[in-house]
Amino acid sequence: AQSVTQLDSHVSVSEGTPVLLRCNYSSSYSPSLFWYVQHPNKGLQLLLKYTSAATLVKGINGFEAEFKKSETSFHLTKPSAHMSDAAEYFCVVEDTGRRALTFGSGTRLQVQP
């Protein structure tokens, strides 16, 4: 079975400083990995996805993630946080058989002014 582990339930940064949200995955073969963002009481928005092409994936709103097979990691980064980035972030792995998604436990990002 595939799974993802988000190492931090809560991350707080100051506006303008870098963001790092950590994710480790477990998969018996090359997975499809995603990062989604959820604002309060809203649905989910896809930030970026990795599907075995380039290991450094660029997403929307300045976010990017690097797939590191040796470390089984897919950490999400952004050089400079903005107040509007405050939200819940989910690292997600796709079950390539059923094509359903398995979500990590989520990381709440807080951005301080």
Select the residue interacting with other proteins from 42, 58, 69, 82 (CB under 8 A).
42
In the region spanning residues 54 to 83, those forming contacts with other proteins, defined by CB under 8 A, are: none
Q: How many residues bind other proteins (CB under 8 A)?
A: 21
Q: Are 35 and 47 in contact (CB under 8 A)?
A: yes
- Minimum distance, C-beta of residue 6 to other proteins, in the bound complex (Å): 9
Judged by CB under 8 A, the residue of 1, 70, 100, 113 near other proteins is: 100
In 3D space, the residue among 110, 43, 39, 38 whose CA is nearest the CA of residue 81 turns out to be 110
Of 15 and 88, the one with the shorter C-beta distance to other proteins is: 88
Sequence-separated (6 or more) residues with CB below 8 Å from residue 55: 66, 67, 68, 69
Binding region for other proteins (CB under 8 A): 32, 34, 36, 41-46, 49, 51, 90, 98-106
